[in-house]
């Protein structure tokens, strides 16, 4: 059970659990910021009516074009909600790309393509709904329901997870905490591996164009950075020491291969091997902009670049894997094979 404590003069004061005035507040908050439930996606409809005359609380679409059913527990038992989201999933699994465009238009004042472009800054994938996921949002979950969700996800690769909200109150102030039953990235990986193949073992990282971020500066000083808000910087937390990364520069191609040498940290707190801070050596505005705001500040990971090409020799081919995610796994085997050859990397083979 999640607990929250306030630190006052070196002492811990336990905050008491509180209730929201209305449960629809959670739906409003989640609809306004899917990051609260660990999703990088756009809402395409609220209270979406199914062919069976039921209503899905929130229906979302992620960057690769997969649908996500988001359902709040409200006054139902957790087990009832599990059954309900499975029923919703059976309906959305048959939706065509054309169906989804029509559904989004019915629930928004603009096209799905424009909604997607506003959020991801890219063109909508031509084919949608090759896979789908489900997320149950609840204040609590009983043990039986937890076992069911884990069984479906971990044994049968069903894309289902649960997110928990807790409200606490202390001295007239209230706080909201979130937690997850399963790691959302693991849930996603299991749900889509049957349709896109196993993970190659490599990570893709991108920092925009050369004008956005100098490749030579990152290469020379052994780092990779992200800024602009948690929807971008949180992705750096997916990288661990020793992970293999390929750097892609928008508009050019792949420029570097390396191993993660330092995990995510504030750019202003990142130390170089020679004992100096990165921001003392590198004069780039994005590293120090909003440094006093953890939600908007720049973060970096250290990278030991093993092989690098200059910008005018970027490695690419028609159809090579690239997208808008700051960090993601490379599943396209053709891209992994090409990069292994060009950068002299000995491929370890697909990951299960």
Strand-strand pairing, 327-329 and 132-138? unpaired
**What's residue 169's pLDDT?**
82
Q: Residue 121: which of 332, 329, 331, 325 has the closest Cα?
A: 325
Q: Which residues of 164-173 are buried (b: 16+ CB within 10 A; e: fewer)?
A: bbbbbebeee
> Dihedrals φ, ψ of 298, to 5°?
-80, 145
**Given a cut of 70, is residue 241 above it in pLDDT?**
yes
Q: Residue 264: which of 305, 297, 312 has the closest Cα?
A: 297
**Given a cut of 90, is residue 173 above it in pLDDT?**
no
Q: Residue 59: which of 72, 40, 49, 46 has the closest Cα?
A: 46
- As given in the structure block, the two tokens for residue 74 are 């409200």
Q: For the segment 263-307, what is each residue's pLDDT rounded down to a tens digit? A: 999 999 999 989 999 999 999 989 998 888 998 999 999 999 999
Q: For the segment 302-338, what is each residue's pLDDT rounded down to a tens digit? A: 999 999 999 999 999 988 888 778 998 898 889 999 9
Contacts of 272 (CB under 8 A, 6+ apart): 221, 222, 278, 281
**What's residue 280's pLDDT?**
94
- As given in the structure block, the two tokens for residue 157 are 């690769």
- As given in the structure block, the two tokens for residue 277 are 């801070």
**Given a cut of 60, is residue 350 above it in pLDDT?**
no
**What's residue 9's pLDDT?**
82
How crowded is the C-beta side of 95, counted as CA atoms within 13 Å?
A: 28
Environment class of residue 180 by beta-carbon count within 10 Å: exposed (0-12), middle (13-18) or buried (19+)?
middle
Q: Indicate the pLDDT class of residue 347, thresholds 50, 70 and 90.
A: low
Residues 243 and 287 sit within 8 Å (Cβ to Cβ): no
**What's residue 16's pLDDT?**
82
**Given a cut of 90, is residue 31 above it in pLDDT?**
no
**What's residue 5's pLDDT?**
80
Residues 111 and 91 sit within 8 Å (Cβ to Cβ): no
**Given a cut of 70, is residue 351 above it in pLDDT?**
no
- Of 22-26, 57-61, 94-98, 277-281, which gets the smallest average pLDDT? 22-26
**Which residue did the predictor score with more confidence, 261 or 192?**
261
**Given a cut of 60, is residue 349 above it in pLDDT?**
no
**What's residue 184's pLDDT?**
84
**What's residue 239's pLDDT?**
96
- Mean of all residue pLDDT scores within the chain: 88
**What's residue 74's pLDDT?**
67
Q: Give the length of the chain.
A: 352
Give the sign of the dihedral formed by CA 188, CA 191, CA 196, CA 201. positive
Q: How far apart, in whole angstroms, are the C-alpha atoms of residue 35 and residue 58?
A: 14
**Given a cut of 90, is residue 102 above it in pLDDT?**
yes
Q: Indicate the pLDDT class of residue 105, thresholds 50, 70 and 90.
A: very high
∠ CA 135-32-213, rounded to 5°: 100
Q: For the segment 35-75, what is each residue's pLDDT rounded down to a tens digit? A: 888 888 999 999 999 998 999 999 999 988 899 999 988 66
- As given in the structure block, the two tokens for residue 194 are 């049957």
Q: Mean pLDDT throughout 15-32?
A: 78
Q: Mean pLDDT throughout 72-91?
A: 85
**Given a cut of 80, is residue 3 above it in pLDDT?**
no
**What's residue 336's pLDDT?**
95
Q: For the segment 107-150, what is each residue's pLDDT rounded down to a tens digit? A: 999 999 999 988 887 778 888 898 899 999 987 788 899 999 99
Beta bridge partners, 6, equal 13
Residues 301 and 174 sit within 8 Å (Cβ to Cβ): no
**What's residue 281's pLDDT?**
93
Q: Return the C-alpha torsion angle 119, 122, 326, 100, nearest 10.
A: 60
With residue 146 as reference, give the H or E element that holds it.
helix 143-150
Pick the CATH number of 202-343 from 3.30.420, 1.10.375, 3.10.590, 3.40.50: 3.10.590
Each domain of the chain, given as residue ranges in start order, spans: 5-196, 202-343
Q: Mean pLDDT throughout 216-244?
A: 92
Q: How far apart, in whole angstroms, are the C-alpha atoms of residue 27 and residue 37?
A: 11
**What's residue 348's pLDDT?**
56
- As given in the structure block, the two tokens for residue 59 are 């229906």
**What's residue 112's pLDDT?**
95
The DSSP code sequence of 182-210 is: S-HHHHHHHHHHHHH--B-SEEEEE---T
Strands of the sheet containing 253-266, edge to edge, are 223-226, 299-308, 253-266, 244-249, 202-206, 327-329
Region 5-196: CATH code: 3.40.1350.10
């Amino acid at each position: 059970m999640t607990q929250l404590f306030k630190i006052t003069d070196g002492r811990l004061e336990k905050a008491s659990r509180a209730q929201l005035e209305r449960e629809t507040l959670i739906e409003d908050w989640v609809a306004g910021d899917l990051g609260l439930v660990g999703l990088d996606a756009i809402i395409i409809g609220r209270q979406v009516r199914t062919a069976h005359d039921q209503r899905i609380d929130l229906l979302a679409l992620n960057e690769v074009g997969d649908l996500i059913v988001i359902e709040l527990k409200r006054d139902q038992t957790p087990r009832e909600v599990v059954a309900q989201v499975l029923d919703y999933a059976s309906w959305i699994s048959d939706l065509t790309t054309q169906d989804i465009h029509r559904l989004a238009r019915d629930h928004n004042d603009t096209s799905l393509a424009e909604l997607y472009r506003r959020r991801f800054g890219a063109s909508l994938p031509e084919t949608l709904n090759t896979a789908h996921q489900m997320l149950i949002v609840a204040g609590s979950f009983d043990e039986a329901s937890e076992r069911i969700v884990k069984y479906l996800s971990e044994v049968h690769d069903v894309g289902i997870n649960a997110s928990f909200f807790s409200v606490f109150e202390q001295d007239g102030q209230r706080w909201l905490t979130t937690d997850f039953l399963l790691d959302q990235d693991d849930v996603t990986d299991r749900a889509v591996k049957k349709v896109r193949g196993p993970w190659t073992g490599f990570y893709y990282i991108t920092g925009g164009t050369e004008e956005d971020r100098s490749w030579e500066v990152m290469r020379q000083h052994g780092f990779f950075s992200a800024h602009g808000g948690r929807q971008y910087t949180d992705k750096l937390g997916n990288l661990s020491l020793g992970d293999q990364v390929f750097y892609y520069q928008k508009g050019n191609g792949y420029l570097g291969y390396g191993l993660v040498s330092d995990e995510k940290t504030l750019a202003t707190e990142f130390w170089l091997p020679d004992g100096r801070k990165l921001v003392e050596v590198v004069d780039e505005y994005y590293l120090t902009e909003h440094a006093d705001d953890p939600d908007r500040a720049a973060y970096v990971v250290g990278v030991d670049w093993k092989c690098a090409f200059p910008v005018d020799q970027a490695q690419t081919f028609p159809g090579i894997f690239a997208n808008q995610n700051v960090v993601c796994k490379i599943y396209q085997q053709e891209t992994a094979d090409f990069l292994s050859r060009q950068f002299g990397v000995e491929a370890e083979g697909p990951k299960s």
